Amino acid sequence: MTETELRERRNEWSAPYWEGVDRQELRYQHCEECGRSVFPARLYCPRCASDRLVWRPSNGRGEIYSFSTLELGAVAAFIDDVPYTIVVVDLDEGFRMTSRVVTDDPISLRCGLRVQVDFPSNGRPLPVFIPLLQS
Amino acid sequence: MDHSVAIVGVGETRHGRFADRSSLSMALEASRQAIEHAGLYPREIDAVIIAPAFADAAFNTDMAFGRLVEELGMRDSAQIIMQAGAGGSTGDRLLRISRGLIASGQARHTLCVHADKFTELTKNQILEFFAVAGFDTEFEAPYGVTYNTIASLTAQRWLHETGATERALADMASSLKEWASLDPNAASFQRPISTEDALAAPILQWPIRTSMAPPPADGGSAFVVTSTADARSMRQSAAYLIGEASRVRTYSFTQHDDYTRMGWADVADKAFAEAGISRNDVGIAQFYVAYPIFHLILLEEFGFTPRGSAEDFVASGATRPGGRLPVMTNGDAIGHGHTGSGVGVATLVDTARQLMGEAGARQVPDLEFVVEASAGGSYMDTNVAMFGREPR
């Protein structure tokens, strides 16, 4: 999928998210009415209907809720990526996000594994996750 | 249950790949069968409610624009014709709309119908269709998700939390296809698959294998709905709606709070309470949830077997023909064939057949009650309907 195709899909209200991605910062929305984190970008809070959503930066760290490695049956646009691993990450700020996890050691992936966001320079402006580097 | 209704007639075409059949001919065959089965003439139908056809776009437009009124001989007699849908929940929604129209006196008898030709689409068109069906186009589809991703993410988490093995999925797939192998209208009629073979099939997205994914199919199905009072005078046995509950959860599948539960327990409890029956009264669990991971989850969340025991429950043969709780007697989408919105309609057709004692080789003996469940989109909602041979 080309960068142009990706940009054509963007909503009117998600611009702050993509501005963040351009600066290698993961952002999410916070609902000032109910206090919950909201993801992906919405105009109103899915759980309380408030319009008081504000953008916040995430620390980019979280844990794997689930993951799925695609071996067969990819859409044509992603055939060249096979095999690749879709991941659902629970970020520390309390939002859940779909992405990919990139690792040289796929066997080590498991639910609950700590991961951190990464912004690869592969022409696709899409944040992915990598296993959290121990420091 | 006030203002309740019953399914009093059903029709269904064979499902599979039929290059020489049009969607329209399948819609007409299923409709005529259902009306005749109900003992009605086409011109006694007041409202025709049509499920969306996702694959056959020209046919879909014809359906929205009322072609069936002429084709079925209802010109100047039908009062309402419309299209209404909610993906896999469409069958349940058509029943609900029917109940409302009948209760309010706007219709005496309704016809609910679906037909579609999924095999007209190329493999990639089908993959692309389902890659944005209930995934966020902007935030999720660009990562290369497919519909199989949903089942895979769910199974991965369910196996992690419950300690079950991937054999549970293969066993459930085998159970569903055993039912389909006995259904002359199913795409995989006379083609059962053993648990071992299901477990040996190529991996799509672990632990989901080709044996566990729904094959696209062509097919049509229809049912006629009327009031409880009319149903009693029309026929000896019918599928009486005796309880229902539903709740809409999320649009994006990935935003479900708990993939291993998905909120089914609440709606199941509510539907059981309304019907006034217990788990032990249920003769069939008609769970239209497509991938076998979800039948396992629903068995636990509905309280048919404790959390963590679905694998043993299925391994015991309970869900298969002759078992103590048959699950999805038309084989669900993996056995019956995936026609888009149609599987939910076909599920109600099969539910009614079973309660009328007309399910042939698949007939479950001494059947009193059936619990039916369906989810639309990417499991966006949780719908439960309870049916009995008699009204309540």
User: What's residue A31's pLDDT?
Assistant: 98
Cβ distance of A66 and B206 shorter than 8 Å: no
Give residue-wise pLDDT tens across range B8-22.
999 999 999 999 999
Q: In the prediction, which pLDDT does A135 show? A: 54
pLDDT surpasses 80 at A131: yes
Per-residue DSSP letters for A56-97? EE--SEEEEEEEEEE-S---GGGGGG-SEEEEEEEETTS-EE
CB of A2 less than 8 A from some CB of B = no
Q: What residue in B sits closest to A128 (Cα-Cα)?
A: B143
DSSP 8-state secondary structure symbol assigned to residue B143: G
Question: B203 to chain A: which residues are within 8 Å by CB?
Answer: 71-72
Whole-number mean pLDDT of chain B? Answer: 96
pLDDT for the residue numbered A89: 98
Which residues 9-38 of chain A have a CB within 8 Å of chain B? 9-11, 14
Residue B306: per-residue pLDDT: 98
A31-90: pLDDT as tens digits: 999 999 999 999 999 999 999 999 999 999 999 999 999 999 999 999 999 999 999 999
Half-sphere exposure of B242 (CA within 13 A, CB side): 22
Q: Which of A111-115, B121-125, B139-143 has the lowest mean pLDDT?
A: B121-125
Contact A74 B252 (CB under 8 A): no
What is the Cα–Cα distance from B168 to B195, expressed in whole angstroms? 9
CA distance A84 to chain B (A): 9
Whether B266 and B384 have beta carbons less than 8 Å apart is answered as: no
pLDDT in tens, B248-283: 999 999 999 999 999 999 999 999 999 999 999 999
Grade residue A133 by pLDDT with cuts at 50, 70 and 90: confident
- Does A68 contact chain B (CB < 8 Å)? yes
Does A65 reach chain B within 8 Å, measured CB to CB?
Answer: yes
pLDDT on residue B374:
97
Calculate what percentage of chain B has a pLDDT beyond 70. 100
Chain B residues in contact with A94 by the CB 8 A cut-off are none
Read off the pLDDT band of A7 (50, 70, 90): confident
Give the number of other CB atoms < 10 A from CB of residue A12: 7
Render pLDDT for B237-251 as a digit per residue (tens, 0 to 9). 899 999 999 999 999
| Chain segment A87-127, per-residue pLDDT in tens | 999 999 999 999 999 999 888 999 999 999 999 987 788 99
Give this complex's ipTM. Answer: 0.96
Minimum distance, in Å, between the CA of residue A133 and any CA atom of chain B: 23
Interchain pair B144, A74: CB under 8 A? yes
Helices (H), B279-369: 292-301, 310-315, 332-336, 342-356
The pLDDT of residue B131 is above 80:
no
Confidence of residue B122 (pLDDT cuts 50, 70, 90): confident
Share of chain B above pLDDT 90, in %: 91
Strand B369-374 and strand B109-117: the pairing is unpaired
Q: Which of B122, B137, B139, B169 to mutate to test the interface with A (most CBs of A within 10 A)?
A: B139
**Per-residue confidence at A134, pLDDT binned at 50, 70, 90?**
low
